[in-house]
Chains A and B, each alone.
Chain A
Amino acid sequence: MGIDIRLPLGILFLLLGSILVVYGAASNPSLYGQSLGINVNLYWGVVLLAFGALMYALSRRGARAETRAENIPQSPRSSGH
């Protein structure tokens, strides 16, 4: 029942990451005096983007696996390597 939380999680972090990256790249460097001269928006935005992409990819993979399982319910389990 319910939802695969990795999908909304992925989308939320992709959006948050994009906002921070764009804002970090466009903002005045003098803004970052308080964060020790590090453009935290840009760098942390990239990390959030990567996390969002990973969660999104995992949710897509999960959805594909589920569809496969539904389509061929009788097939024997793959032996794997």
Chain B
Amino acid sequence: MTGIDWLILGLYFAFVLGIGVALKGSMKTSADFFLAGRAIPAWVAGLAFMSANLGAQEVIGMGASGAKYGIATSHFYWIGAIPAMVFVGIFMMPFYYGSRARSVPEYLRLRFDEKTRGLNAISFAIMTIFSSGISMYAIAKLIQTLHVFDGVLQRLGLNSSWIFDFAIIISAIVVLVYTFLGGLSSAIYNEVLQFFLIVAGFLPLSYLGLKNVGGWSGLKATLGPSYTHSWAGLSHANTNRLGVEWFGLVMGLGFVLSFGYWCTDFLVVQRAMAAKSMSAARRTPLIGAFPKMLFPFLVILPGLIAIALPTQPAVPSHARVVVGAEPPGKGIIPLKLDATSGQPMLDKDGKPQLDYDLAVPSMLLHYFPPGMLGLGLTALLASFMSGMAGNVTAFNTVWTYDIYQSYIRPGATDAHYLWMGRASTVFGIAFSIAAAYMANRFNNIMDMLQLVFAFVNAPLFATFLLGMFWKRTTGHGAFAGLLAGTAAAAIHHGLTLPAGAVVGIKGGWLAVTHTYPSEMAQNFWTAIYAWSTCFVVTIVVSLLTRAPEESKLVGLVYSLTPKPEEEPLAWYARPASLALMVLAGTVLLNIIFW
């Protein structure tokens, strides 16, 4: 990185911190801090809704999947996000926003009971801390591998091996300062800033790369149809790169996992709850869906281009990447090296593995001269920080309202909860840092934790769907369904194994009764079993237990809630019109990239 790149990065830091400072004065009540005073305009909340999910792991991971699986990765957007974003905006937001619940767990208490809320709040709080730590670890590892920021340590007279610690501490401090000062408002406004920076940093990359490989037709000619079609070959798991058949993809990813995340995860739903009116809250996910629909061109396409470029070990001199000395990978993606020996890592067939996570960073270094490189790396850091701030603000709210106020210290003054919000921001980030170091030392524990989180999350959407649309659903039913769904996920995982994997963390730890063609297929089917079990158990237990009083469910259940009044909006700005437009656009994209 040269002086100009540092200038751009410094400017970004100054602005995100400046927004925190500017908002400090308006944090007077806990609602200002945790709910942004419910005063955020729809377009701001919409971009933040999308941006909070756009962590660095997303940007890096989607580029990596693009290089690995091709344009079929866009299923994670077009099937795996858009329909759920439309659903939460049109059908679920009236209950989230209308109930005046301050968090998703609080909605569960209003609708069901204390134990269902407790289960959700505690598991969510733990998961948030660990996911934030894991992504912190991933980005610090990436910065370490890239060596782009090493210069600053050398100038300070420090050993460049400290860059891992340096990256974690600096980014944590910046996020801490701006969320501590301005709470959710600060996180949301910064997510908007970060969103535009990500677009500004990645758009020229896709353009230059595509121009270089001769456009989409050139890419098709180089990579062949398996990389450039999203649906062709999905009739059977063995005829596409994902190793999944269409039913598992549509039901597992498109229905269970996608709706489970976008419709129930407080990290994203919190952005809509902060909107200034019911209509703004409903439009929040719909507005976010428009850029979401187009993001494959910014984050997946660079991965495809990276694998399509002629294999060349040479790297630009200013980049100081060490991969140049190693045997070439494929395209501009280097081989995956063992951290201790420095030797290429081999897969089960003895072939060297590619380090797909370096696809997007390699593209930045390949195409961007000083200046643009600074903007591109700033975009990468911006995505990391927006994802982390999303976790932090969701954690401090659930901790303060759903755990501290409910179980530890009810009935304190509002000023006390505002103070607790700030305190939990500090220790939430401290725990995340601890989790990042844990991931660095004990990678296996982290893999196992992520697996457990997946089991806990898989059944969630069944509970919300029944809770919002079937008034007979009871608290006992919801609680039993969630536990049964999580158990079903664990049992299914314990009984199946992806092809070629070893029994253990990948599955089969009870007995191997079925082998899936890929890990992705196993994940999708685990989710399908978990959801179905939760759905059935919730219904059965609800019918066996006493029906809830209908008067208490007004505003929480579809059939007992009056239709939300439409604000006088232009026809194109109404929730239903936005939903139709974004769905039509998604169908069109699926047809184009069939």
A5 near B189 with CB under 8 A, answer yes
- Whether A15 sits at the interface, judged by CB under 8 Å, is yes
Q: B186-213 vs A: 1/0 string, CB under 8 Å?
A: 0001001100100010001000100110
Q: Mark A15-38, 1 if CB is under 8 A from B, else 0.
A: 110011001100100011011101
The yes or no answer to B36 lying at the interface (CB within 8 A) is yes
* Cβ contact within 8 Å between B36 and A15: no
Residue A40 CB within 8 A of the other chain: yes
Is B458 engaged at the interface, CB distance under 8 Å to the other chain? no
CB distance from B569 to the nearest CB of A (A): 15
- Can you list, as one digit per residue, whether each of A25-68 has a CB less than 8 Å from chain B (1) or not (0)? 00100011011101011001000100100000000000000000
Taken together as a complex, chains A and B put the C-alpha atoms of A23 and B192 apart, in Å, by: 26
Q: Per a CB cutoff under 8 Å, which of A32, A34, A48 touches B366?
A: A34
A23 to B1 alpha-carbon distance, docked (Å): 15
In the bound assembly, the distance between CA atoms of A76 and B366 in angstroms comes to 59
A9/B11 in contact, CB under 8 A = no
Segment at the A interface, from B18-26, B53-61, B77-85, B289-297: B18-26
Closest residue of chain A to B319 (Cβ to Cβ) is A34
**A-B CB pair tally, cutoff 8 Å:** 93
Contact of B118 with A by CB under 8 A:
no
Tell whether A31 pairs with B370 under 8 Å between CB atoms, given A1-B39, A3-B22, A19-B7.
Answer: yes
- CB-CB nearest in chain A for B369: A31
Determine the distance from Cα of A21 to Cα of B410 in the docked complex, in whole angstroms: 56
**B193→A8 contact, CB < 8 A:** yes
* Pair A2/B26 contact, Cβ less than 8 Å: yes
Task: Please give, as numbers and ranges, the residues of chain B lying within 8 Å of A36 by CB-CB distance.
Answer: 208, 211-212, 367
CA distance A8 to B211 in the complex (A): 33
Contact partners of B19 in chain A: CB under 8 A: 3, 5, 8
CB distance from A7 to the nearest CB of B (A): 10
Asked if B452 is at the interface of the complex by the 8 Å CB criterion, the answer is: no
A56 to B34, CA, bound (A): 28
CB nearest neighbor in B for A15: B11
Could you tell me the distance in whole angstroms from the C-beta of A25 to the nearest C-beta in chain B?
11
Q: In the complex, which residue of chain A has the Cβ closest to the Cβ of B365?
A: A34
| CB–CB B39/A40 < 8 A | no
Residue of B4, B26, B40, B369 near A40 (CB, 8 A) is B369
B371 touches A27 (CB 8 A): yes
Q: What is the bound-complex CA distance between A48 and B8, given in angstroms?
A: 13
Could you tell me the distance between the alpha carbons of A31 and B212 in the complex, rounded to whole angstroms?
A: 17
Residue among B12, B19, B193, B372 having the largest count of chain A Cβ atoms under 10 Å? B372
| B375 beta carbon closer than 8 Å to chain A | yes
Chain B neighbourhood of A32, CB < 8 A = 369
Q: A23 near B371 (CB under 8 angstroms)?
A: yes
Determine whether the beta carbon of B369 is less than 8 Å from that of A16.
Answer: no
B37:A1 contact, CB within 8 angstroms: yes
B131 at the interface (CB under 8 A from A): no
Contacts of A1 in B (CB 8 A): 26, 32, 36-37, 39, 185
A32 to B37, CA, bound (A): 48
B375 pairs with A35, CB closer than 8 A = no
Name the B residues within 8 Å of A44 (CB-CB). 200, 204, 372, 375
24 contacts between A and B (CB under 8 A): A1-B36, A1-B37, A1-B39, A2-B23, A2-B40, A3-B19, A5-B19, A5-B189, A5-B193, A8-B15, A9-B193, A12-B15, A12-B193, A19-B11, A27-B371, A34-B366, A35-B208, A35-B369, A35-B372, A40-B368, A40-B369, A40-B371, A41-B371, A44-B200
Q: B residues touching A (Cβ–Cβ < 8 Å)? A: 4, 7-8, 11-12, 15, 18-19, 22-23, 26, 32, 36-37, 39-40, 44, 185, 189, 192-193, 196, 200, 204, 208, 211-212, 316, 366-372, 375
Of all A-B residue pairs in the complex, the 5 with the closest CB atoms, nearest first, are A41-B371, A1-B37, A1-B39, A31-B369, A5-B189
Given A1-B39, A41-B371, list of 6 further CB < 8 A pairs? A5-B189, A19-B8, A19-B11, A23-B371, A44-B375, A51-B196
Interface set of A (CB-CB < 8 Å, partner B): 1-3, 5, 8-9, 12-13, 15-16, 19-20, 23-24, 27, 31-32, 34-36, 38, 40-41, 44, 48, 51
